[in-house]
Structure 1
Amino acid sequence: MLVVCLFDISCNKRRRKVNRLLQGYGIRIQESVYECQISHGQLLRIQGKIQKIIAQTDRVHFYPLCGKDIGERKVEGGGTVTWHEGFHVV
Structure 2
Amino acid sequence: MAENIDELTIHYEEDGKVLRKEVAKEVLSKGSWATIMYLYQDLDRKTGEYGQQKVSIRRYQKREGTFLQRSKFEVSSPNQARAICNKIQDWFPEED
TM-score, structure 1 normalization: 0.30
Name whichever structure is richer in helix by fraction.
Answer: 1
Bigger RCO (CA 8 Å, 6+ sep): 1
